[in-house]
């Protein structure tokens, strides 16, 4: 008899309040709460920080120190001698007040719960009290959460600072040079979620300055739900224009309140009070556009988020697997807005377990996409801080992860089933023939117009019996006729069998068909451009090739390309991403984007596929070619095949 296993079960630990909804206004206390974490060398750093803090910041300070579990702590008494504020040892249910310092007691884990401090006994195993507190702080306080990581070994706090920044809070780390032990601040900074890297005394001075910022203080005193957001439509439109020019992403389609909140966070970091001043700052500091771009893309994610949804989803997939059909086809999954990859790897692990338990040795193909190259790079490496232990069972940690210096890395078997690539779901062609689309990081940030565009894209991408998984605060309301609720509490939907209605250009506002075609050029310009391509081909290749424009439209075919590109009847200038064979799609996109960004040839090697019963390997070479008009750019895509020896 087979044993029933809860495939999405997480480790037993103190419950942490989490959110995967839209970045929302603060929900806890109407004043900022500063969580300060440290381990070895923490007393010295705490002392320096507290000594430099004024009495009347209006903030609360909660110190989470790694303490000996069996000895009484003298930390409150030692710190009291250096603080202008009262220093108190926390007891369970203690209310938090401004201008006070609270210290965690030994042998406990601590959370912020509805504005008060809750204590539970320390669990066996790895103890990560800073991450536990920071995550609860982010969930309760939102943009009035502040996290500080001071001296200590290992990586406690690294997961928590990401959660705080995702909720529009502010984060600090001690300058590693000044820390007695640099592991914790170094690992926190490595997440990319730290706003300031300073000495403890400098952190204190920056906190005192932040306390005066209007976006950190409720617009209605005493109201924790009240907040002040940046105003100014003209300035906001200018920021959108600058972002679009720099990043190719149209943030005007994102929910206005979310965007303003994230911009307000950047304004706090730079101590700027008005949106007009911030717009001027952005125009003169291009690096700030990249920082704002990263802030706008931050999402709250973790391994096995919403375990009940994973459990329900796998049961539906098991049912589909056992109901017949082609058992040879791979299980194909797309996770748009995958951020740093936790959702993709979680699904891969669950599917691997399900397929193994049901003796279905079919391949897994998971595609994680995002518009943040920084996040995608982290996802591809599959390395996560030790704090992920809170979300993963010991059995899964042992089976699917390898311990490395900076935390844990997803093992090779799972990594090889996952492909990560840049993709903007609001304008780029979707994947196809998918069993599952898991979208739990996008819709909550998009306005209704964008949602009405994106949901049909998912419908088009799914197989007739495919599944759609959304986040707990999301729904198919913008396209309810396309999806059938299968499990409403867990936001799992089935694809309805109606005709797809995805725009052919897959773009919001504007069509790629409006782009001038190379073939429509006339006179000497067309002749000259033709000669440029011919010279490249004659000097470097005698290949199968295509010419595309900057919108990925195929303008010319050279040689025999049917092995690599599917015919798309009725399209004069088909999109190469729609035509590309499956294994070629992501490498092709990467190579074209690299060639476009570097203005130099790019290459993707080792792309394997089957052709006429033979195993082949392609090298794809992409060469950018300037057009005859200013700013005009084309690309020559050359396919170089190689027959692989039979095994």
| CA–CA distances in Å: residue 263 to residues 10, 103, 143, 272, 560 | 35, 33, 12, 11, 50
Asked if 244 contacts 48 with a C-beta cutoff of 8 angstroms, the reply is no
Asked if 296 contacts 254 with a C-beta cutoff of 8 angstroms, the reply is yes
According to the per-residue pLDDT averaged within each range, which of 31-45, 227-241, 349-363 is highest? Answer: 31-45
Name the one residue in this structure whose structure tokens are 């203690």. 94
Edge to edge, the sheet with strand 407-410 lists 383-384, 407-410, 401-404
User: What is the model's pLDDT at position 116?
Assistant: 93
Nearest to 345 by CA among 374, 373, 304: 304
DSSP structure string for 532-562: HHHHHHHHH---EEEEEETT-BEEEEES--T
> 24, 39, 155, 438: which one is catalytic?
39
Pairing type for strands 145-149 and 116-121 reads: unpaired
| CA–CA distances in Å: residue 57 to residues 48, 162, 271, 530 | 17, 24, 16, 68
More confident residue, 369 or 23: 369
> 66, 213, 423, 453: which one is catalytic?
66
Return d(Cα 495, Cα 484) in angstroms, integer. 6
Helix (H) or strand (E) holding 152: none
Asked if 366 contacts 400 with a C-beta cutoff of 8 angstroms, the reply is no
**What pLDDT, in 10s, does the model give residues 526-544?**
556 655 665 555 445 456 8
Asked if 276 contacts 310 with a C-beta cutoff of 8 angstroms, the reply is no
Asked if 365 contacts 332 with a C-beta cutoff of 8 angstroms, the reply is yes
* DSSP-based three-state secondary structure for 295: helix
Residue 66 known to be catalytic: yes
User: What is the model's pLDDT at position 410?
Assistant: 95
Asked if 441 contacts 301 with a C-beta cutoff of 8 angstroms, the reply is yes
In a domain, 13, yes or no: no
Give the count of beta carbons closer than 10 Å to the beta carbon of residue 558: 19
Name the one residue in this structure whose structure tokens are 């890297």. 197
Assess whether 114 and 180 both reside in one domain: yes
| Residues 6+ away with beta carbon under 8 Å from 294 | 192, 372, 374
User: What is the model's pLDDT at position 89?
Assistant: 94
Tell me 23's DSSP state: -
Assess whether 384 and 461 both reside in one domain: yes
Assess whether 50 and 83 both reside in one domain: yes
Cα angle for residues 167, 173, 176 (degrees, 5° grid):
155
In a domain, 25, yes or no: no
More confident residue, 581 or 21: 581
More confident residue, 599 or 508: 599
Assess whether 338 and 285 both reside in one domain: no
User: What is the model's pLDDT at position 19?
Assistant: 35
Q: Residue 257 has which token pair? A: 């309140």
Assess whether 432 and 531 both reside in one domain: no
> 60, 155, 156, 578: which one is catalytic?
156
More confident residue, 424 or 129: 129
CATH number of the CATH domain containing 577: 3.30.450.20
In a domain, 566, yes or no: yes
User: What is the model's pLDDT at position 414?
Assistant: 93
In a domain, 227, yes or no: no
Cα dihedral 324, 325, 331, 334 sign: negative
Q: Residue 463 has which token pair? A: 């197989």
Question: What would the 3-class secondary structure string for 304-373 be?
Answer: CCCHHHHHHHHHHHHHHHHCCCCCCCCEEEEEECCCCCHHHHHHHHHHHHHHHHCCCCCCEEEEEEECCH
Asked whether the predicted pLDDT for residue 329 surpasses 80, the reply is no
Return d(Cα 531, Cα 210) in angstroms, integer. 61
More confident residue, 468 or 633: 468
Asked whether the predicted pLDDT for residue 57 surpasses 90, the reply is yes
Tell me 384's DSSP state: E
- Domain end: 216, 250, 272, which one? 216
Asked whether the predicted pLDDT for residue 453 surpasses 90, the reply is no
Return d(Cα 440, Cα 352) in angstroms, integer. 21
CATH number of the CATH domain containing 169: 3.40.50.180
Q: Residue 360 has which token pair? A: 């279905």
Name the one residue in this structure whose structure tokens are 């796998």. 314
- Domain end: 271, 297, 323, which one? 297
- Domain end: 154, 189, 216, which one? 216
User: Phi, psi (5° rounding) for residue 483?
Assistant: -135, 145
Helix (H) or strand (E) holding 257: helix 256-269
Return d(Cα 151, Cα 180) in angstroms, integer. 6
Asked whether the predicted pLDDT for residue 326 surpasses 60, the reply is no
Asked whether the predicted pLDDT for residue 322 surpasses 80, the reply is no
DSSP structure string for 96-116: P-TT-EEEPPTTEEEEEETTE
In a domain, 5, yes or no: no
Q: Is 488 exposed, middle or buried (0-12, 13-18, 19+ CB in 10 A)?
A: exposed
In a domain, 17, yes or no: no
User: What is the model's pLDDT at position 505?
Assistant: 44
User: What is the model's pLDDT at position 44?
Assistant: 93
Asked whether the predicted pLDDT for residue 584 surpasses 90, the reply is no
In a domain, 67, yes or no: yes
Q: Residue 546 has which token pair? A: 């295509």
**What pLDDT, in 10s, does the model give residues 103-143?**
999 999 999 998 899 999 887 777 889 999 999 999 999 88
Assess whether 313 and 271 both reside in one domain: no
Residue 39 known to be catalytic: yes
Give the count of beta carbons closer than 10 Å to the beta carbon of residue 477: 11
> What percentage of residues in the chain have a pLDDT greater than 70?
83
Residue 163 known to be catalytic: no
Per residue in 68-90, is it b (16+ CB within 10 Å) or e — as a string? eeeeebebbeebeeebebebeeb
More confident residue, 425 or 217: 425
Assess whether 92 and 129 both reside in one domain: yes
According to the per-residue pLDDT averaged within each range, which of 298-307, 393-402, 453-462 is highest? Answer: 393-402
pLDDT averaged over every residue in the chain: 82
More confident residue, 645 or 39: 39
Average pLDDT over residues 183-212: 92
Which residue stretches of 71-143 are H helix? Answer: 75-80, 129-141
Return d(Cα 429, Cα 421) in angstroms, integer. 13
> What percentage of residues in the chain have a pLDDT greater than 90?
32
Asked if 637 contacts 588 with a C-beta cutoff of 8 angstroms, the reply is yes
Assess whether 434 and 521 both reside in one domain: no
Name the pLDDT band for 360 (thresholds 50, 70, 90): confident
Tell me 254's DSSP state: B
Assess whether 287 and 248 both reside in one domain: yes
User: Phi, psi (5° rounding) for residue 145?
Assistant: -100, 135
Asked if 292 contacts 282 with a C-beta cutoff of 8 angstroms, the reply is yes
Asked whether the predicted pLDDT for residue 504 surpasses 50, the reply is no
Give me the helix-helix angle, 200-210 and 42-51, nearest 10°: 40
DSSP structure string for 158-219: HHHHHHHHHTT-EEEEE-GGG-SS-HHHHHHHHTT--SEEE-HHHHHHHHHHHTT-GGGS-S
Asked if 136 contacts 113 with a C-beta cutoff of 8 angstroms, the reply is yes
Name the pLDDT band for 177 (thresholds 50, 70, 90): very high
Give the count of beta carbons closer than 10 Å to the beta carbon of residue 556: 16
Helix (H) or strand (E) holding 5: none
Q: What is the tally of structural domains in the chain?
A: 4
Assess whether 69 and 147 both reside in one domain: yes
CATH number of the CATH domain containing 442: 3.40.50.150
| Residues 6+ away with beta carbon under 8 Å from 299 | 166, 337, 339, 441, 445
In a domain, 228, yes or no: no
Assess whether 39 and 172 both reside in one domain: yes
Asked whether the predicted pLDDT for residue 21 surpasses 50, the reply is no
Expressed as residue numbers, the domain containing 158 is 33-216
Assess whether 257 and 139 both reside in one domain: no
């Amino acid at each position: 008899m087979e044993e029933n296993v809860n495939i999405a079960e997480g480790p037993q630990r103190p419950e942490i309040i989490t959110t995967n909804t839209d970045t929302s206004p603060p929900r806890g206390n109407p004043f900022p709460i500063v969580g300060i974490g440290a381990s070895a060398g923490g007393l010295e750093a705490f002392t320096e920080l507290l000594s430099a803090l004024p009495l009347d910041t209006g903030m609360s300070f909660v110190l989470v120190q790694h303490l000996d579990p069996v000895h009484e702590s003298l930390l409150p008494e030692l710190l009291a001698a250096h603080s202008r504020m009262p220093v108190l040892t926390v007891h369970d249910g203690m209310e938090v007040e401004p201008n006070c310092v609270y210290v965690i007691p030994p042998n406990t884990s601590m959370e912020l719960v509805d504005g008060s401090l809750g204590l539970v006994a320390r669990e066996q195993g790895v103890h990560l009290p800073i991450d536990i507190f920071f995550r609860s702080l982010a969930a309760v306080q939102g943009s009035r959460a502040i996290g500080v990581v001071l001296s200590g070994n290992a990586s406690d706090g690294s997961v928590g600072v990401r959660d705080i920044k995702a909720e529009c809070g502010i984060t600090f780390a001690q300058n590693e040079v000044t820390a007695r032990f640099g592991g914790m601040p170094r690992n926190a900074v490595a997440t990319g979620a730290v706003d300031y890297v300073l000495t403890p005394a400098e952190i204190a001075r920056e906190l005192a300055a932040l306390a005066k910022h209007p976006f950190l203080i409720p617009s209605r005193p005493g109201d924790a739900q009240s907040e002040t957001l940046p105003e100014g439509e003209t300035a906001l439109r200018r920021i959108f224009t600058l972002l679009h020019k720099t990043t190719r992403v149209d943030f005007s389609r994102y929910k206005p309140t979310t965007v303003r909140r994230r911009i307000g966070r950047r304004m706090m970091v730079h101590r700027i009070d008005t949106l007009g001043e911030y717009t001027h700052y952005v125009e003169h500091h291009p690096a700030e556009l990249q920082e704002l771009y990263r802030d706008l893309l931050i999402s709250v994610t973790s391994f096995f988020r919403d375990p009940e949804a994973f459990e329900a989803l796998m049961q539906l997939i098991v049912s589909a697997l056992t109901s017949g059909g082609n058992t040879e086809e791979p299980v194909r999954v797309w996770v748009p807005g995958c951020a740093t990859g936790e959702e993709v790897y979680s699904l891969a692990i669950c599917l691997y377990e399900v397929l193994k338990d049901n003796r279905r040795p079919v391949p897994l193909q998971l595609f994680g996409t995002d518009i943040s190259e920084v996040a995608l790079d982290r996802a591809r490496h599959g390395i996560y801080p030790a704090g992920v232990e809170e979300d993963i069972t010991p059995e899964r940690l042992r089976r699917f992860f390898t311990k490395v210096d900076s935390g844990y890395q997803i093992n090779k078997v799972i990594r090889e089933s996952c492909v990560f690539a840049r993709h903007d779901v609001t304008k780029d062609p979707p994947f196809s023939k998918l069993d599952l689309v898991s979208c739990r990081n996008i819709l909550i940030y998009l306005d209704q117009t964008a949602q009405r565009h994106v949901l049909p894209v998912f419908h088009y991408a799914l197989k007739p019996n495919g599944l759609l998984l959304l986040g707990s605060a999301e729904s198919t309301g913008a396209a309810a006729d396309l999806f059938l609720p299968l499990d409403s509490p867990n936001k799992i939907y089935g694809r309805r069998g109606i005709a797809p209605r995805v725009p052919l250009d897959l773009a919001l506002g504007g069509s790629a068909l409006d782009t001038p075609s190379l073939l429509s050029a006339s006179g000497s310009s067309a002749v000259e451009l033709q000669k440029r391509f011919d010279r490249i081909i004659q000097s470097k290749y005698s290949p199968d090739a295509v010419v595309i424009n900057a919108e990925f439209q195929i303008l010319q075919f050279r040689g025999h390309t049917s092995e690599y590109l599917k015919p798309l009847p009725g399209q004069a200038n088909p999109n190469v991403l729609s035509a590309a064979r499956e294994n070629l799609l992501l490498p092709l996109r990467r190579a074209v984007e690299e060639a476009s960004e570097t203005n130099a040839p790019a290459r993707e090697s080792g792309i394997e596929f089957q052709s006429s019963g033979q195993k082949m390997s392609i090298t794809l070479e992409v060469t950018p070619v300037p057009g005859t008009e200013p700013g005009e750019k084309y690309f020559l895509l050359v396919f170089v095949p190689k027959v692989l020896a039979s095994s």
